[in-house]
C-alpha cells in the first residue's frame, strides 16, 4: 500500500522553540525541517498566486525517502521562476504597458459567488493591469491596427485572481488547437520579416479565408475598436464564458465586461498613421501622463449572468468564443470599479515579468479561489 504524501524525512517528533518579542515561533516538522509561521517582523511567504506556504526547502515526497511528487506545485513554481530568470519577449502580447491600482466592490453578489472579493461593499482590492497589442513585437508601434490585451491581476485575500481578456468580446477561433496556427499566420512573413505589428499580408488572409468562424472577429478587427485613442478609452472583455459558484454550490454562467468611465474613443486610420510616425509610444505616454497628473483612468466591472434555461434556448453554444451574448438579451450588471492610480517603479521587473494565469478555474494555478 502506498504511503501518504509527506515532506518529512524521518519519524522524529515535531518540536518548537519559544518565541521572543521580535522572533516568531519556529516549528520543526517530523524530519527536522523548519516551517515558517506568521508573526513578528517576518512576512508570510506565499506562492506567486498568493497562497501562504510554510516550507520552501523540502520537496513533497512519497514517504520518507520516496520519489518527488508532481503534485508539489510549490516546487514546480520555484523551478519555473528559476528557469525564467532571463526571459525572452512574449510570443503574443509582447508590446505591453501596465499600472497599479485598486478594485472597489460596489454591488456585492454573495447570492452568485462565494469569491471573497465580491462579498463586501466598498472594500478595495489591489490590482495590476496590463494592456498590450497582440501581433507586434516588443519594439513595435502602439497604434497598429490590432486587438488589444486587457489583463487584470487581483490581489485578493484568497489568493491572486487573474481576469485575462481583450478589448473585443469575441475571438478568431473556436478550438484552442488552432491558436499556434493563427499566431503564426498573423506574425510577419517568414521569408522577409515584415510587415510587423499588423496582419496585412497573404499568410493571415489565407488562414482566415479557410476559417469561416473567424469572420465575426475580422469584422471587429476592421472596425475602429482595433485602433483605440488610448488605453483609457478602451473596453475590456473576458471573452470566454465562466462560472460563478455560490456558498451553496449553485452555479451560474457569467461573462465579464470592463466599461471605461471616460467613454469609448478611437482614432481614424489617417490619424493612426501620423501618430505612429510622430510618437510610436503614444499609448504608453498617454497612460503615464494621465496617472502622473492625477487624472486616474477608471473602469466599471460588469457581468452578464445567465442560467441553464437560457443556455438551452440560445441559438449558439455559449462556450463558443467566436460568438457573443447580446446585452439586449442579458443586460450587464455593474458590480465594481477599477481605478489605476500608480505607475510602475521598474518597467522590466513589473510590466515585462508579470505573468497571468489564463485558466478559467484558478484553483489549478495554486489557489483555492473559486469565482
31-41, pLDDT tens digit by residue?
Answer: 777 777 766 77
From the list 235, 204, 218, the residue with the least C-alpha distance to 297 is 235
- Annotate 105-127 with b (16+ C-beta within 10 A) or e (fewer): beebbeebbbbbbbeeeebebeb
Provide the total of helices (H) and of strands (E) in the chain, helices listed first: 7, 14
CATH code given to domain 96-365: 2.40.180.10
| Residue entry with cell 443586460 | 331
Please answer whether residues 308 and 363 qualify as being in contact, where contact means their C-beta atoms are separated by less than 8 angstroms. Answer: no
Ranges 180-194, 271-285, 299-313: which has the least confidence? 180-194
What confidence score (pLDDT) does residue 263 get? 95
In this chain, the answer to whether the domains covering 1-86 and 96-365 adopt an identical fold is: no
Instruction: Tell how strand 236-237 and strand 242-245 pair up.
Output: unpaired
Name the fold adopted by 1-86.
Answer: Cytochrome C Oxidase; Chain J (4.10.91)
What confidence score (pLDDT) does residue 359 get? 67
Average pLDDT, the chain: 87
Does 246 qualify as catalytic in the annotation?
no
What confidence score (pLDDT) does residue 261 get? 97
From the list 318, 362, 333, the residue with the least C-alpha distance to 256 is 333
Beta-carbon contacts of residue 300 (< 8 Å; ≥ 6 apart): 106, 258, 259, 261, 334, 336, 337, 338
> Is residue 159 pLDDT above 90, yes or no?
no
- In this structure, what DSSP letter does residue 2 have? P
Domain ranges for the chain:
1-86, 96-365
Confidence of residue 59 (pLDDT cuts 50, 70, 90): confident
Mean pLDDT of 85-92: 85
Confidence of residue 10 (pLDDT cuts 50, 70, 90): very low
From the list 298, 303, 296, 309, the residue with the least C-alpha distance to 343 is 296
Which of 74, 93, 216, 283 is labelled catalytic?
93
What confidence score (pLDDT) does residue 179 get? 93
> Is residue 369 pLDDT above 80, yes or no?
no
What confidence score (pLDDT) does residue 84 get? 76
Q: In percent, how much of the chain has pLDDT > 70?
A: 88
Mean pLDDT of 229-247: 96
What confidence score (pLDDT) does residue 23 get? 55
Does 166 qualify as catalytic in the annotation?
yes
Which of 58, 160, 166, 276 is labelled catalytic?
166
What cell numbers appear for 284 in the block? 504608453
Q: Report CA Rg, the chain.
A: 23
Amino acid at each position: 500500500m502506498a504511503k501518504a504524501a509527506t515532506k518529512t524525512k524521518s519519524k522524529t517528533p515535531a518540536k518548537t522553540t519559544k518565541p521572543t518579542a521580535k522572533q516568531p515561533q519556529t516549528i520543526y516538522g517530523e524530519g527536522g525541517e523548519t516551517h515558517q509561521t506568521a508573526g513578528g517582523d517576518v512576512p508570510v511567504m506565499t506562492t506567486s498566486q498568493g497562497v501562504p506556504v510554510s516550507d520552501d526547502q523540502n520537496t513533497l515526497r512519497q514517504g520518507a525517502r520516496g520519489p518527488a511528487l508532481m503534485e508539489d506545485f510549490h516546487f514546480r513554481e520555484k523551478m519555473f521562476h528559476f528557469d525564467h530568470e532571463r526571459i525572452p519577449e512574449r510570443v503574443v502580447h509582447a508590446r505591453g504597458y501596465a499600472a497599479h491600482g485598486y478594485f472597489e466592490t460596489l454591488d456585492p453578489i454573495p447570492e452568485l459567488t462565494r469569491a471573497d472579493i465580491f462579498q463586501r461593499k466598498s472594500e478595495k482590492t489591489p490590482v495590476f493591469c496590463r494592456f498590450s497589442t497582440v501581433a507586434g513585437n516588443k519594439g513595435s508601434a502602439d497604434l497598429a491596427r490590432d486587438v488589444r490585451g486587457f489583463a487584470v491581476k487581483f490581489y485578493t485575500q484568497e489568493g491572486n485572481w487573474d481576469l485575462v481578456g481583450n478589448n473585443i468580446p469575441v475571438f478568431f477561433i473556436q478550438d484552442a488547437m488552432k491558436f499556434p496556427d493563427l499566431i503564426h499566420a498573423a506574425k510577419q512573413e517568414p521569408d522577409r520579416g515584415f510587415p510587423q505589428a499588423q496582419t496585412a499580408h497573404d499568410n493571415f488572409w489565407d488562414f482566415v479565408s479557410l476559417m469561416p468562424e473567424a469572420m465575426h472577429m475580422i469584422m471587429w478587427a476592421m472596425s475602429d475598436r482595433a485602433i483605440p485613442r488610448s488605453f483609457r478609452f478602451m473596453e475590456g472583455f473576458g471573452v470566454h464564458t465562466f462560472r460563478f459558484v455560490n456558498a451553496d454550490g449553485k452555479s451560474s454562467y457569467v461573462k465579464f465586461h470592463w466599461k471605461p468611465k471616460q467613454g469609448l474613443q478611437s482614432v481614424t486610420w489617417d490619424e493612426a498613421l501620423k501618430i505612429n510616425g510622430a510618437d510610436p509610444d503614444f499609448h504608453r505616454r498617454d497612460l503615464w501622463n494621465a496617472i502622473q497628473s492625477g487624472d486616474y483612468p477608471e473602469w466599471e466591472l460588469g457581468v452578464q449572468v445567465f442560467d441553464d434555461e437560457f443556455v438551452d434556448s440560445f441559438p449558439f453554444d455559449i462556450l463558443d468564443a467566436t460568438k457573443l451574448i447580446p446585452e439586449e438579451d442579458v443586460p450587464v450588471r455593474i458590480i465594481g470599479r477599477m481605478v489605476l492610480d500608480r505607475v510602475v517603479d521598474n518597467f522590466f521587473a513589473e510590466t515585462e515579468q508579470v505573468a497571468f494565469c489564463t485558466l478559467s478555474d484558478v484553483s489549478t494555478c495554486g489557489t483555492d479561489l473559486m469565482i
